[in-house]
Amino acid sequence: VDLNRLGAVVTKGVANVPWPGNPTPRVTETASGMLNAIGLQNPGIDLFCKRDIPFLKQYDTKIVVNVCGKSKEDYCEVVERLADEPVDLLEINVSCPNVKEGGIAFGQNPKALEAITKEVKKYAKQPIIMKLSPNVTDITEMAKAAVDAGSDALSLINTLTGMKIDIERRDFVLANKTGGMSGPAIKPVAVRMVYQVANAVDVPIIGMGGISTAEDALEFMAGATAVSVGTANFINPATTLEVVDGIKTYMERHQINDINELIGCVK
């Protein structure tokens, strides 16, 4: 894949120290998607700055670093380390369990989301994107909490919580029992949530969840400013380039000169 042709590359989650992740098995296919319980395995911020940023800097693309942590202090430590690094945006993964508050994810409680956003903003030199979890009752409440606390943009959706059972072994397929579900099956949920959030707050939205084709990406005209492709890369590494080309073809066919005409064009 020619990374120069992509608007941005989003890294996997980076923490203040290396995380080993969850025990295996931790990935399984499911109908029209996959479940993963990787547990945010990552090499830690030191190795990331030494190895991964220089690699990405070779290309003409924006670098978006996804930041994860187990406490407010963890997040802030990573954000502070990245302040003087040549990265463009920080995407804060608030689907991590907050160890100090009994394990509920930062992104499932509006007050916790507001607190982490405010704290991170104190240390960040780059714009902040809060990545919203769909595992909530009202996504607009979470969006408003993040924006009120200073989030510059939002990305949604993160994975839906799911489970798969091996009926022959009569046991869980994933060692972690539950995992995050991604892939085509979640796209209608993602499109609906992007639409709701776009009509509730006034910041740019990066839409994601089940995008496999340009047509899928274009559905996010429901309110997204940009789109992000994840799971589809597992089965077709060229997905991102096909989406870029497909959007261009669509615009030519419909005689659209400015892609901004598509953002939030359904009311």
Active site residues: 96
CA pair distance 174, 161, nearest whole angstrom: 12
Asked if 228 contacts 206 with a C-beta cutoff of 8 angstroms, the reply is: yes
CA pair distance 223, 221, nearest whole angstrom: 5
Structure token digits, residue 204: 């740019």
Structure token digits, residue 107: 């992104």
Asked if 231 contacts 34 with a C-beta cutoff of 8 angstroms, the reply is: yes
Structure token digits, residue 171: 């046991």
CA pair distance 143, 138, nearest whole angstrom: 9
